Each structure stands twice: as C-alpha cells, then as structure tokens.
Amino acid sequence: MKKIFSIWLTIFVVVAFAITLFCSYKIQSRLAKETALTMLKANLEDAKRRILHSRENLERIKELTENVALGKIRAFSRVIKDTPDICNSLAAFNKALDSVKEQASSLEISDRTKLYQKVIMECPEYKSNQAFMEKMKIDFNVDEVTVTNGDGIMISSIPADYIGYDMTSKEQSNEFVKRLIQGEDIDYIQKPMPNGYWENEIFQYVGTRRIDDKGFVQIGYTAKSLHDAEELADTYKISEDFRIGNNGKLKITNIEEDKEAAALFKDSNEPIVTKVVNGVLSLCVYRRLNDLVLRASLPEDEMFLSRNTVVQTMAIAYFFLFSIVYLLISLLLQKVVIEGIYSVNDSLNKITEGDLNETVKVHNTEEFDILSNGINTTVNALKKAIEAESKRIDAELEIGRTIQKSVLPDDFPDNDKYTIFASMDTAKEVGGDFYDFFSIDETHNAMLVADVSGKGITAALFMMNAKALIKELVLSGKSPADAIKEANMELCENNKARMFLTLFLAILDTETGKMTCVNAGHNPPLLYHNGTWEYQKIKHSMALGVSKKVKFTEVVLTLDHNDSFFMYTDGVTEAQNPANELYGEDRLKEFLSKQDNNPKIVLNNLKEELKSFADTAPQSDDITMIMGLYK
C-alpha cells in the first residue's frame, strides 16, 4: 500500500509539476503577449496623436498664413482703387501697351516682354508708380507686389524685372489668369513652391481681382515657415525616430500602396499578426488612420524576454500552499477590500459629478472607517469653503459697483448751447466702464466714455485712477492727444495687474461746433448730421495701459446746430438675446434713426430696447452710453 501510495504520490507530483510548468508557461506567454499588445496599441495611439497633432498644426499655420495674405492682398487692391494717381498711371501703362500690341504680336515671348517693359518704363508716370509699389511692398511686408491688366500682362511690379511679363506664358502664373480673369474666382491662393528669381526659395503667391479695372493684383512672399511646418508634419518621417521598446519599429504606409495590409483589413478592423520584420519574427498590430496604415511591431525574443526566467523560478513544492493562500487572499480581498473600494469609488464618482450631499458609508474595517470619515469631512469643508467664497465674491462685486457708480457725474448740463445726458447699467460681474463730462472753459466742454479690462474691485480702482488722471490732464490745457498720451504713460507705470482701457474723448467748442476727438481702441461713435445717423470711422490707436510708445491721433469733426453725437461701450452692441445673437452696430444705427433728437429720451428708450432684445438672457457686460446735442 505504501508502495502504491508512493507511486501515486510520485505520479501526482510529476503530473502536478508538468501541469504547473505548462500552465505557468502558457500564462506567462499570454501575459507577455497581452503586455506587448497593450504597449503596441499605446504606441499606435501615440503615433496617431502625433500625426493628427502635426496635421492640425499644419492646417492652423496654413489657415493663419492664408488669412493674413488675403487681408493684405484685399487691402492692396483697395488702396489702388482709392489712389487716383495710381489708377491713372495704370491706365497710362495699358494705353502704352495698346500702342505696340500689333508690333508685339509677331515677337517671341522674351522679346515681347522686353518691348512691353520698355514702353511702360518710358511712361512719365513710371517712377511715381514704382515708388508707390515699393511702399506697398514695405507696408505689407512682402517680397513681391504686382498689378496686371485684363490680358494678364504685368504692368506694374516690384521687382521691376517682372514688368511686361505675360502671365499666360507659364503654367504656374497662368493659373491666376484662368481663375481671376477668365474664371469667376475673386481670390486665389497658390500652394508654396520654389521660385527661381529668389534663388530657389519656397514662395507663395496670392492674388485678387482688381477693383478699379480688369486684371488682378498679386503679392508674393517667402513661405519658409510654412514649408518647414510641412516638412515637420510629414507623416512618413514620424516613423523614422519612433521606437517601441528596445528594438520595436513603427511603419507608416499608404493603404493604396500596401496591398498586404489592405488584405488584412478585410477581415479585421485592427489586425494582429506574427510575421518576419527585418529578418526577425515579430508581433505586429495594424491600425487605419484615413488613407494611412500604421504598423507597430515588436520582436518575439524581446516580447518573451522574461517569460523563461519567471517560469524557472516557480517552485513546485509551494504549489498547493500557494494555491490555498491565493484562494484565501482572493476571497479576503474580494469581501473586505474590493467591495469596499467599489463602494467608496461609487460615492466619489457622485461627489466629483457635483453631488456634495453624498456621504461615504463603508465601515467594515477600521481603515475604511477612517477613509470614509476623512472623505466626508473633506466634502463638508469643501461645501463651506464654496459658500464662503461665493459670499466673498458677491461682496467684492458690490464694492466694485459702489466705487464705479460713485465717481460718475449725475448733474447733466442742459443750456442754450448744448445738452448732455449719460447712463450706465452695470452687469452682475462689475467691470470698469465709465463716462465723464466737464467744462474746460467757457467755450470748451469735454466728454468721454471708456471701458476698463477686468472685473471686480481691481477694475473699479483702475477706472477711478484713469478717470481722475484724464480729467486732470485735460483741464491742465493740454491738447486731447497730448493729454491721452501722458495719461497712457502714467497708467503704464507700475501696471502690475496688466490692465488696460479703451477710450473715446471728445472736446466740443460750443462757439464753432468743432469737436476734437481721440479714439484709443474704442467703438466708433455715431454722429447725427443732415437728418441721418452715421458711424464715424475715426482712426484709433492702441488702448491705454498697454505700451508707453503708443501715439494718439486727433480728428476734428464739425457739428452744425441741432447735430447730435452718441458714444457708447461694447456692452451696447454686444448685448445678447437667448439665441446668442448680438444687438450689433446695424440695429443700433437703425434704432437711433427712429428717435427724436433728445439725449435723455433717446438713452432711456435705448435701455428699454436692449432689455427687450435681451429678453431672459443675462446682462454680461456694463452698458454705458453718453449722448450730446449741439444746439
């Protein structure tokens, strides 16, 4: 019996050893493969993010570059239209070309270009036109500026060597002719490409139709930064320095060219195969990204590097003990720890989603009891802190509103020369809007409206300082531009909060009706003249408090008797209704056109109009207005 027991025990031990070793081998193999798959998928995800991020950055750079270029080319076309001398010179160049058109038709392209160039350069208007083009090149910060006629001939250009060139003679330049002269396009942006004139630099051309005549205008500029961004965003280069583990690789191919990968994707959305890569048997994971195929691979010898060591260190003598301990620990963890953790996590999820009334109720061990009480105490403290912070913010906003309103004048002048009325409705989050009006002497009266950045007490204090400073400087006899310039210098000093304000200042001479204005980054005012309200597109400078180097320009408007002027902050035009629509400048002008010429009545009616427009939408910014009537 002993012998039989020994035999069976030996068989049992051998079988147990074999089973244990086999199971351990399989488990470790599976774990190693799962770990490798997780790593490969994570690297594929990382590669995908890099590709998408590179493409997004490239698209942003392209969009920004193209938008800036479109702005420049449209402005260039508008400047030409608004400059009669230039329009006349271009017309003269066209006339000169017409005089030699019959002679030019029999010449080769190069000779025809030289002929056109010669007759244009002999025109009396040529030098002034070139000076203008050179100025445009500098003003728009580009390398080339060109104007063509309706036949696609360059009649004005910097560099001057391009003058007389027929843009239909080459495919690259003819694309502009096809789109902007023969086609219906208004603008055309050509992809960056090498330019032989500039020693093979990468160049980009942008064109738009001429407003003044047939043909188009074109600018050219080096696009090195865009070209460099395209190089960096090259999808296929990402795989060159991408490493997975020690010897793993990333390969990126096109789905149309990689027939093997295309076949794998017919059976699975994420194929996983074992194949030879660079002479080494490797685990491979494939993933699609639009037209690209991403393949991450890891050699099998690296994937199973630790498996044999782990299996060899396992001792069969502890198999049963390990199994029992493992089962006991598993049950203990499940009952005491895991379920407790799940319960705590459920409560924490509710708390993080905003339910601060949720309490943790896990008390099956001393540790969980301490944890539950700690979480509950922390949540209660958080609730109290939120309430205290809310009260503090409300108090600060109320102080800011009080400061803001306390410095506003409320004695509105109404005499035989002029009438002024103003109003301000603060938003819940008080800002730094303010208005002011005061007499400088018997015939000069100052009026201003301003909008300070920021909210709360800081904005209100900055507003008080700016208001007092501007009034003091204007009353000292300085011109409006000098007063604002000196105020800006003072506000820039020790501006640690980095605040700024936009402002519109007007000084009215009641004897002559002349109103001297300075606009520091503010909304354009409206002037009622000859029975209509119109926006005064006065050139504005940068806001105050940003830079000491800003220059401010004065503009003089002449008011006739019974003319009115209206100044405001962006809280008027940016008032929103429940559909997130803005009140806007057009609605404001239309509203004023329907009103009597009485400042107080107009402003009161406008406040009601804005309330009606906003309906249930909350007021998001201060609404400040000032209106004057010159009698």
Is 489 found in the same domain as 358? no
Mean pLDDT of the chain: 86
What is the per-residue pLDDT for 200?
64
Dist CA 434 CA 578 (whole Å): 27
Q: pLDDT (tens digit, 9 = 90+) per residue, 385-403?
A: 777 776 776 666 666 566 6
Cis bond before residue 271 (omega within 30° of 0): no
Whether the Cβ atoms of residue 438 and residue 475 lie closer than 8 Å to each other: yes
Domain ends where: 258, 277, 312?
312
Q: Report the percent of the chain where pLDDT is more than 90.
A: 51
Whether the Cβ atoms of residue 174 and residue 186 lie closer than 8 Å to each other: no
Higher pLDDT, 524 or 50: 524
In a domain, 64, yes or no: no
In a domain, 71, yes or no: no
What's the total number of domains in the chain?
4
Dist CA 390 CA 383 (whole Å): 11
Residue 306, domain CATH = 3.30.450
Is 434 found in the same domain as 524? yes
Query: CA 575, 579, 585, 591 torsion: positive or negative?
Result: negative
**Domain membership of residue 206 as a residue range:** 83-221
Is 544 found in the same domain as 431? yes
Dist CA 192 CA 200 (whole Å): 12
Is 324 found in the same domain as 295? no
Is 603 found in the same domain as 563? yes
In a domain, 399, yes or no: no
pLDDT of 216 over the 90 cut: yes
Dist CA 391 CA 404 (whole Å): 20
Compute CA distances 311 → 20, 21, 22, 25, 315, whole Å.
9, 7, 9, 6, 9
Is 546 found in the same domain as 524? yes
Whether the Cβ atoms of residue 190 and residue 175 lie closer than 8 Å to each other: yes
Domain ends where: 312, 338, 361?
312
Domain ends where: 170, 199, 221?
221
What is the per-residue pLDDT for 599?
96
Residues contacting residue 289 through CB under 8 Å, at least 6 positions apart: 48, 51, 52
Whether the Cβ atoms of residue 305 and residue 316 lie closer than 8 Å to each other: no
Is 424 found in the same domain as 413? yes
Dist CA 549 CA 489 (whole Å): 8
Is 290 found in the same domain as 192? no
CB atoms within 10 A of CB 210: 22
Among the residue ranges 315-329, 336-350, 364-378, the one predicted with the least confidence is: 315-329
Q: pLDDT (tens digit, 9 = 90+) per residue, 30-54?
A: 888 888 889 999 998 988 888 888 8
Residue 107, domain CATH = 3.30.450.20
Whether the Cβ atoms of residue 423 and residue 625 lie closer than 8 Å to each other: yes
Q: pLDDT (tens digit, 9 = 90+) per residue, 267-312?
A: 888 999 999 998 999 999 999 988 889 999 999 888 887 777 777 7
